[in-house]
Structure formats: C-alpha cells, structure tokens
C-alpha cells in the first residue's frame, strides 16, 4: 500500500466484515466459565414505600445462588449513583441532589425502579425466582407530567426537594430582554411540548462482571459509550474499589445515542455481586426492561417568544422551560436542559438579547438524560419553530427572514455564552433551497392538491455545539469531570501501527475514520493501522463518545500523538541520514533531507527505533510509541439548513415525508460515506420524534403505557424517504483537522423542519409532536369547524 492521502475519501469500513458475518462481539455474546445470571426485581409501582421484602422463597428456588436488596448494599457501604454535573440555581444554591441508590432503600420512585437482584445458574431460573421475591409495597400517589410536578399538593419524590424542583436556572439579561419585548414591533409566541423519547438502541443494555479472587480484581464487560468514565464513577463514587483493580471493557456496542453513557444500577450491582458469589454475573436487558430503565430523552414544556422589528430583524428572545429529570439524577441529566440547551438559543442568528429560564423537576418516571442531540434538538425546535412562525405572521419568506438575521462575521460572541469560531449559513441555506427545488414547490403543491393531498414545505437552520468540551469552561459551568480525550500511537518495529483511542465506536466507524487520519499522516496503508478502543486495560484513558466529539476531540488527540511520533521519527531519520534534525522533512511516509535525494521510509525508522544499533541513544530513547491528551480550546459549531416537504392525506391525517434535503457544514470531512450515514440516521430519529415516537406514562398510575415496540413507534424503512444530502465546508479554526462533528445534526434539525412543513401543509399555527395521524386529522377537523363558524 502506497502513501496516500485518504482524508475526504469514502473508504469502506474496516469493521464491517465482522458485523456482516455475525462475528461481532457484543456484551451478551461474551460467555465466561461458571457464568451466572442476574434478574432484577423492579417496582411495579410509580411511587411506593417498601414495607418489607421477603426473599426466603426466592432463595429456595431451583438454581438460585443469591438474592440481594438495598439493605445488603447499605451493609456493604455501596453508595448511590453520582451525577456528573452540578448546576447552580438562580439563587446561587447548588441543585438538589437526592440519593440515587442502585437498589431501592425503602422507597421506589418509578415503574422499573430496582428493588432486588436474583442471581441463579440460568436466566430463566433467576427470573422464575424473581417472582418469588415478596415485596410489600404501600403505594403512594405519583406525578409523571412535567406540568404537574410543581403544582400545589403534588406528590413529593424526595425530601431534599419538597417542591420537586431540582433547580431553577437562568441565562441572559432578563431586564434588558423584557424591555425590548415591551416595545417590540411584533412578538411571536409559541408553547411547545418537546416529547419524551426512549432511545432504543437495538442492542439492549448488558453487563457481565467477573471477580478474580487471586488478584482481587474485577472485569466488567458492559455496553457502554465510555468505559473509563464508567470505571471512574463506579470505583471512586459507588463501590469504593481501587480503580486499577477494575477493568471495564465496552466491546462491540450496538448503538448508544446517549443511552449508554451513564453509570446504571445494573452495572454496579453485577460488579459488586460477582465478588459476593465469586462467580461471573451476567445481566442482559429484555427490551421491556430497556423501555423502563434506560435513561429517556427530551421531555420539555416551553413557552417561547421572539421579538422582531418591522423589517423582520430579531430583537430578543425569551424562553421559559420546564424539563423533567425523571425520578433521579442520571449521570449527566442536569446539564442537558441548561448548558446544552439555553446556550444554543441564538441559533444562526444575530438576536442580540436572549433570556432563558429553566426549571428542572423530578417526576415518577425513568431518569431523563442525553439522547442524540441532548438539549440542542430542543433549542433548535424552539428557535426554528419561532422563526418560521414569525415569518408567516409578518408575511416574509421563511428563507428571507433567516437571511436577514444570519450571523455573517466570525468569530461571533452570542448573548448566550458561546463563541462561534466560523460558519457560512448563507451557503448552506442557499444550497438547500436549490437542492430542494424550493422554486418548484408551488407547482408541486398544486399537483398534490389535484390528488386531494395537502403539501407543505418547512425549513430548519440549526446550529449545534459539539466537540465537547474545553475542560476549564465545562468545570466553571459545573462539570465534575474533564472533557479532554486521550490517544496513543504505538508504532511496531515493522512500521505497522496500533492506535489506542479513548473515543468509543458504537456504530460511528472510528476504526475506519481514525485509521484514515493515521494512515494519511504517516503515509502508510489503511491496512497497516488498527484502531483499538473500549478497554480500560488497553487504552490509556478516555472520556468516551457522545456530543459528536469523537473526531474533533478524540481524533485531535491522535493527531497530537502522531505529531510526536513524526517529531521523534525525524530525529531518528536525521541520525540515519547524517543530517541535522531541522533539515528532515516528512511527507508521504518518507523522511527526507530537504534539498537532497537522501531519504528513509517510515518503516525503516520504526525498525531503527526498536533495533537501535545505529541510533542516537545518547539523546533519544529507543521505541516509537507516543501518547497525547487533547483538551479543546472551544466547542465546534456544525450548522446547516434542512428543508422538508410533506404530504398529508386529509382523509386519514397520515403524513408522508416526500422529500428531505439536508445541507450541513461539518467542517472538514474525513469519510463522506460515514458522515452521510450519520446524517441519515440522525434525520430518521428526528423524523421519528416529529411524527412517530412518544413516551407516555399514565397520568394517574404512572405506568409506562409505551412499554414495548408494539406501542412505542420506532421509524421503519417505510416511514422515511431517501434523503438528499450536500455538504459545505468551513473548517473548524481551532483543531488541526478542521473538523466539527456530525453525529447529532440530523436529530437536531429534523423535528423543526418536519413540523414547519406540516404546519404549512395544514395551514395551522402549531401542532404537537409527534404529529400522529389522529392529531393531524383533529387539527384539520378543528380548522374546518373554525371555517364553518
């Protein structure tokens, strides 16, 4: 394989062979000797006190090895699950942080809450015995709706938060914003429900822990997006184990979308239990358990207003949001509706004044945390629905109103804390308008009308903050962890390379994208590089994959390590070629002395480093192995414009997406094939939120009504069209690859585009997501009645 620049090339994925042949290794595929199985007894009630647990019968059931409850964990000094982000409220007080026990301590707070674990020789035996664990509950009233949580007399979940409020947090200058609204030419107002979603990665969560008594060490295989973070949180905060005695392996992971970032009760309990019974303990979620106990996403209630002048210039924005945290604070729950939400409310626009107040509440529901986009889809929905509605109200073309307000000079400091480094919003909008053939829309609308269909078109011009995050900035905002990434480049004596990254791939294709970066920089073949991730014993450290950070932060860490490898290589080469260090150049895999024909290939330098016979041992260590930690200096700001076209069947209310155009600016693109795949997936999740997906709990009983795929509607192939994609490129200014990240864009921009199109088709001001056929039909019926009246 010759030296070749693979950046920007759609090379086929290195990981695909194993997945296509069934040779992937997901956590549940791992089988250890003497393995046992865990079944979790879960609360059938949304809210109850536990009066008594009797495990005698369960303990006598066939195959049962142990039954543990919260009492056992307390006796063993197992602590609660921590929250990784401290939000400080408007009064300067820390958020309310109720205890989050891995197994209930006398009280359960949502259906699915963990009560006990049964461990047996087989899973079915554990499950059979689980039904024999007698739990005496005193049922308490429950509150599940965000809107009900703070009502007077609402059931209280936690004593530390008597009004069910975790925090009230605000960003922006309220007085200045209010003043502008008081005298604005036009104000557009909307009330939004950002519907609660269940992530539903197709691989259910799973954990398999084993304990090695001889070494007093543990190994945990777990479906995780960030094994080092999982280990750190578990050892330092929950189990009090020595971190170096715990190995966490996140092998092949079947999708995450945020839901596998967190430290979950099951992970902690099987790890602890593996020592108690001195045998490996495996737990794999059934899908119904995933519905109950995976962290959910979104669940906001928002009132938002946009003030405009007579030319359609945005003057100010005012947003009030109540966001559900669920029953307990999941690992990053608190930062989602604040740091990752309010800071994005400027969108792509020069709106000079923005104020946002967020109230986070506890409800008797599963914990809510980051789900693909995490805060940014909610922000984009608010901004882009307001903007499109404002355009309709003041009768401006929706593309034109956006153009009038675009940020055009960079860097740009928004009024909500972010500093956009670069972008070209006109370029993405212009391309989207062209690609979507907006000019031909009215003819298409007429043609649809002739077929009895209602056709509508809507835009969304989104922005996101990715590449999280500068650790010091995150720290000042309450993060309890750093957000750098680590990478190690191990050059073998033959010049082959193994790279260890703290990023984790669960579908993103890092084994290919990162290898492209490495191969291109070192001028070696793609097959000469392997990327290793997901194992705390092999990878030096890692913060993991979420927030579209992998290439921007993890990729940069690798580049930094590569820089060190090349720098050292130059010194070795200089010695070999008897030249001065400064005269050695490295291009296309070859070290050359500038201006001469002297050269040594990369592999020869590698060999010299490991067989240092002719080597500058007096000033250089042997070996060629470098690592780097990279802490970004800013967020990255992918942005783009989406145009959605829908057709509604007025007889049934069914909506079909007939065309969807996405023009994104992700900065430099390493592998356009993989990037397009990320966009397709994100768009489909966004379309799912807009039209299909809705997590519902019964308002009285707190039972999860959408607890299976029979009731929770996942997008299928016939729900979405083939997408029209294009990219524009303004390279990120503060990382060496110029990359911004692409994993979440689709899910961020799509909901607003779909709903803008749908409200256009129906001629209604607003419609709640998901716009199910019945909701659309009702909206049309109401419109008919209004007309008749």
Partner 1 sequence: MSVTVSMTVNGKPVTAEVEPRTLLVDFIRSQLRLTGTHVGCDTAQCGACTIHMNGAAVKCCNMLVMQAQGAKLVTIEGIAAADGKLHPMQEAFRDHHGLQCGFCTPGMVMSAIDLATRHSNLTEATIRAELDGNICRCTGYHNIVKAVQAGAQVMRS
Partner 2 sequence: MYQFNYHKASSVADAAALLARNPEAKLLAGGQTLIGAMKLRLAAPSDLVDLGAIAELRGIRADGGTLTIGAMTRHAEVAGSKDLAQTIPALAALAASIGDRMVRNMGTLGGSLANNDPAADYPAGVLGLAATVNTNKRKIAADQFFKGMYETALEPGEIITSIGFPVPKRAAYAKFKNPASRYAIVGVFVSEGQSGVRVAVTGAGPCAFRVAEMEKALAAKFSPDAVVGIRVSADGLNSDLHASSEYRAHLVTVMAKRAVQAALGK
**Binding stretches for partner 1 (CB under 8 A):** 12-13, 15-26, 28-29, 31, 124, 199-204, 252-255, 257, 284, 286-288, 506-509, 673-674, 676-677, 679-685, 708-710, 714-718, 720, 722-723, 746
612 vs 715, beta carbon nearer partner 1: 715
20 vs 567, beta carbon nearer partner 1: 20
- Can you tell me whether residue 569 is helix, strand or coil? helix
Q: What is the 3-state secondary structure (H, E, C) of 715-757?
A: CCHHHCCCCEEEEECCCCCCCCCCECCCCCHHHHHHHHHHHHH
Q: Across-strand partners of 663? A: 641, 726
Phi-psi region of 278 (alpha: psi -120 to 50; beta: other; left: phi over 0): left
- Take residue 622 and report the two structure tokens written for it: 């042997």
86 vs 773, beta carbon nearer partner 2: 773
Distance CA 165, CA 84 (A): 18
Helices (H), 221-355: 227-233, 265-276, 287-293
- Start-to-end CA distance of the chain, whole Å, equals 75
Query: Which option in partner 2, partner 1, none does residue 18 bind, with CB closer than 5 to 8 A by kind?
Result: partner 1
422 vs 505, beta carbon nearer partner 1: 505
Distance CA 420, CA 735 (A): 14
Closest CA to 36 of 197, 174, 210: 210
Distance CA 529, CA 4 (A): 13
Radius of gyration for the alpha carbons in the chain, expressed in angstroms and rounded? 27
Shortest distance, position 56 Cβ to partner 1, whole Å: 25
- Take residue 299 and report the two structure tokens written for it: 């669940």
87 vs 118, beta carbon nearer partner 2: 118
Query: Which option in partner 2, partner 1, none does residue 777 bind, with CB closer than 5 to 8 A by kind?
Result: partner 2
Shortest distance, position 385 Cβ to partner 1, whole Å: 22
Closest CA to 763 of 400, 457, 550, 489: 457
Query: Which option in partner 1, partner 2, none does residue 287 bind, with CB closer than 5 to 8 A by kind?
Result: partner 1
617 vs 709, beta carbon nearer partner 2: 709
- Take residue 723 and report the two structure tokens written for it: 């997408």
Shortest distance, position 707 Cβ to partner 1, whole Å: 10
Query: Which option in partner 2, partner 1, none does residue 254 bind, with CB closer than 5 to 8 A by kind?
Result: partner 1
Shortest distance, position 294 Cβ to partner 1, whole Å: 12
Shortest distance, position 1 Cβ to partner 2, whole Å: 42
Task: Please say whether the beta carbons of 254 and 247 come within 8 A.
Answer: no
Rounded to 10 degrees, what is the CA torsion of 750, 754, 756, 758? -170
Shortest distance, position 770 Cβ to partner 1, whole Å: 16
Query: Which option in partner 2, partner 1, none does residue 210 bind, with CB closer than 5 to 8 A by kind?
Result: none
Site residues (vs partner 2, CB under 8 A): 124, 128, 288, 651-652, 692, 696, 705-706, 709-714, 719, 772-774, 777-778
DSSP conformation class of 613: T
Query: Which option in partner 1, partner 2, none does residue 597 bind, with CB closer than 5 to 8 A by kind?
Result: none
Shortest distance, position 15 Cβ to partner 2, whole Å: 27
Query: Which option in partner 2, partner 1, none does residue 44 bind, with CB closer than 5 to 8 A by kind?
Result: none
Shortest distance, position 15 Cβ to partner 1, whole Å: 7
Query: Which option in partner 2, partner 1, none does residue 674 bind, with CB closer than 5 to 8 A by kind?
Result: partner 1
Task: Please say whether the beta carbons of 209 and 274 come within 8 A.
Answer: yes
6 vs 168, beta carbon nearer partner 1: 6
Query: Which option in partner 2, partner 1, none does residue 201 bind, with CB closer than 5 to 8 A by kind?
Result: partner 1
How many beta carbons lie within 10 A of that of residue 191, not counting itself?
Answer: 11
Helix axes 773-788, 745-762, angle to 10 degrees: 30
10 vs 160, beta carbon nearer partner 1: 10
Distance CA 470, CA 481 (A): 11
18 vs 716, beta carbon nearer partner 2: 716
Query: Which option in partner 2, partner 1, none does residue 696 bind, with CB closer than 5 to 8 A by kind?
Result: partner 2
Shortest distance, position 693 Cβ to partner 2, whole Å: 9
341 vs 723, beta carbon nearer partner 1: 723
Residue recorded with tokens 């799912």: 688
Shortest distance, position 720 Cβ to partner 1, whole Å: 6
Shortest distance, position 283 Cβ to partner 1, whole Å: 14
- Take residue 139 and report the two structure tokens written for it: 């049922």
Task: Please say whether the beta carbons of 308 and 346 come within 8 A.
Answer: no
350 vs 703, beta carbon nearer partner 2: 703
Q: Which residues contact 24 (CB under 8 A, 6 or more apart)?
A: 18, 252
Dihedral sign for Cα atoms in the order 579, 584, 586, 588: negative
Number of residues that make up the chain: 789
Shortest distance, position 559 Cβ to partner 2, whole Å: 44
182 vs 710, beta carbon nearer partner 2: 710
Shortest distance, position 774 Cβ to partner 2, whole Å: 5
Which is it for strands 134-139 and 48-54: parallel, antiparallel or unpaired? Answer: antiparallel
Query: Which option in partner 2, partner 1, none does residue 478 bind, with CB closer than 5 to 8 A by kind?
Result: none
Closest CA to 38 of 111, 135, 136, 114: 114
47 vs 533, beta carbon nearer partner 1: 533
272 vs 723, beta carbon nearer partner 1: 723
76 vs 705, beta carbon nearer partner 1: 705
Query: Which option in partner 1, partner 2, none does residue 651 bind, with CB closer than 5 to 8 A by kind?
Result: partner 2
**Rounded to the nearest 5 degrees, what angle is found at the Cα of 755, between the Cα atoms of 754 and 759?**
125
Distance CA 108, CA 293 (A): 13
Helix axes 376-393, 745-762, angle to 10 degrees: 30
Shortest distance, position 123 Cβ to partner 2, whole Å: 11
Query: Which option in partner 1, partner 2, none does residue 128 bind, with CB closer than 5 to 8 A by kind?
Result: partner 2
Task: Please say whether the beta carbons of 299 and 147 come within 8 A.
Answer: no
Rounded to 10 degrees, what is the CA torsion of 687, 689, 691, 692? 110
16 vs 131, beta carbon nearer partner 1: 16
Chain-centroid distance, C-alpha 74: 32
Query: Which option in partner 2, partner 1, none does residue 580 bind, with CB closer than 5 to 8 A by kind?
Result: none
Q: Across-strand partners of 317? A: 306, 354
Query: Which option in partner 2, partner 1, none does residue 472 bind, with CB closer than 5 to 8 A by kind?
Result: none
Shortest distance, position 221 Cβ to partner 1, whole Å: 13
Dihedral sign for Cα atoms in the order 116, 121, 127, 131: negative
Query: Which option in partner 1, partner 2, none does residue 772 bind, with CB closer than 5 to 8 A by kind?
Result: partner 2
Shortest distance, position 129 Cβ to partner 2, whole Å: 12
């Amino acid at each position: 394989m010759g030296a070749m620049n693979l950046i920007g090339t759609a090379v086929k994925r290195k990981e695909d062979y194993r997945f296509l042949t069934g040779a992937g290794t997901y956590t549940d595929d791992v089988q250890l000797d003497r393995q046992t199985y865990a079944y979790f007894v879960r609360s059938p009630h949304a809210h109850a006190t536990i009066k008594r647990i009797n495990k005698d019968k369960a303990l006598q059931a066939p195959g049962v090895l142990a039954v543990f409850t919260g009492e056992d964990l307390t006796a063993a000094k197992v602590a609660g699950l921590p929250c990784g982000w401290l939000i400080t409220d408007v009064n300067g007080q820390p958020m309310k942080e109720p205890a989050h026990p891995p197994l209930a301590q006398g009280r359960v707070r949502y259906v699915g809450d963990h009560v006990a674990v049964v461990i047996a020789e087989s899973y079915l035996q554990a499950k059979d015995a689980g039904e024999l664990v007698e739990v005496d509950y005193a049922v308490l009233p429950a509150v599940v709706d965000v809107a009900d949580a703070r009502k007077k007399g609402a059931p209280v979940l936690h004593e530390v938060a008597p009004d069910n409020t975790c925090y009230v947090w605000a960003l922006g200058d309220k007085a200045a914003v209010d003043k502008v609204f008081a005298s604005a030419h036009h104000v557009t107002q909307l009330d939004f429900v950002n519907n609660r979603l269940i992530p539903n990665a197709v691989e259910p969560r799973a954990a398999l822990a084993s304990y090695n008594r001889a070494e007093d060490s543990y190994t945990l295989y777990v479906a995780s997006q960030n094994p080092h973070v999982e280990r750190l949180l578990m050892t330092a905060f929950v189990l009090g184990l020595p971190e170096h005695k715990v190995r966490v392996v996140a092998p092949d992971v079947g999708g995450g979308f945020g839901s596998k970032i967190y430290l979950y009760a099951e992970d902690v309990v099987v790890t602890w239990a593996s020592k108690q019974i001195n045998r490996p303990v495996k737990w794999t979620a059934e899908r119904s358990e995933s519905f109950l106990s995976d962290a959910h996403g979104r669940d906001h209630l928002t009132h938002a207003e946009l003030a405009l002048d007579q030319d359609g210039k945005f003057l100010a924005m005012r947003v009030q949001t109540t966001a559900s945290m669920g029953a307990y604070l999941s690992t990053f729950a608190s930062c989602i509706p604040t740091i990752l939400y309010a800071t994005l409310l400027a969108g792509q626009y020069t709106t000079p004044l923005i104020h946002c107040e967020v109230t986070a509440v506890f409800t008797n529901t599963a914990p809510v945390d980051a789900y693909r986009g995490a805060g940014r889809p909610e922000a984009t929905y608010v901004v882009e629905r307001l903007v499109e509605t404002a355009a309709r109200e003041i009768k401006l073309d929706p593309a034109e109103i956006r153009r009038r307000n675009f940020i055009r000079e960079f860097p740009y400091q928004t009024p909500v804390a972010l500093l956009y480094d670069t972008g070209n919003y006109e370029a993405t909008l212009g391309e989207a308008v062209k690609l979507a053939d907006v000019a031909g829309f009215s003819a298409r609308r007429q043609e649809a009308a002739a077929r009895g269909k209602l056709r509508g078109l809507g835009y969304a011009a989104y922005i996101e903050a990715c590449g999280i995050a500068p650790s010091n900035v995150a720290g000042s905002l309450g993060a309890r962890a750093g957000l750098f990434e680590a990478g190690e480049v191990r050059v073998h004596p033959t010049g082959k390379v193994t790279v260890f990254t703290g990023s984790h791939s669960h579908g993103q294709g890092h084994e290919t994208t990162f290898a492209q970066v490495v191969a291109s920089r070192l001028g070696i073949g793609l097959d000469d590089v392997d990327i290793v991730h997901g194992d705390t014993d092999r990878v030096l450290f890692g913060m993991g994959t979420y927030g579209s950070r992998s290439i921007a932060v993890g990729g940069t860490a690798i580049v930094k390590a590569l820089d060190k490898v090349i720098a050292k290589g130059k010194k070795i080469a200089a010695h070999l070629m008897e030249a001065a260090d400064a005269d050695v150049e490295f291009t296309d895999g070859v070290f050359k002395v500038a201006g001469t024909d002297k050269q040594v290939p990369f592999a020869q330098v590698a060999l010299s480093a490991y067989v240092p016979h002719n080597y500058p041992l007096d000033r250089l260590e042997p070996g060629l192995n470098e690592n780097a930690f990279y802490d970004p200096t800013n967020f990255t700001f992918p942005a783009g414009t989406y145009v959605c076209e829908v057709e509604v069947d007025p007889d049934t209310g069914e909506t079909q997406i007939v065309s969807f155009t996405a023009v994104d600016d992700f900065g430099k693109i390493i592998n356009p094939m993989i990037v397009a795949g990320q966009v397709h997936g994100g768009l489909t999740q966004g379309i799912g939120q807009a039209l299909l997906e809705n997590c519902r709990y019964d308002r009285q009983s707190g039972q999860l009504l959408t607890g299976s795929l029979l009731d929770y509607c996942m997008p299928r192939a016939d729900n979405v069209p083939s997408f029209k994609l294009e990219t524009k490129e303004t390279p990120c200014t503060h990382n060496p690859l110029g990359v911004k990240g692409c994993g979440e864009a689709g899910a961020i921009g799509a909901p607003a585009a779909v709903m803008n199109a749908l409200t256009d088709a129906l001629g209604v001001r607003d419609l709640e997501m998901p716009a199910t056929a019945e909701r659309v039909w009702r909206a049309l019926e109401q419109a008919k009645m209004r007309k008749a009246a």
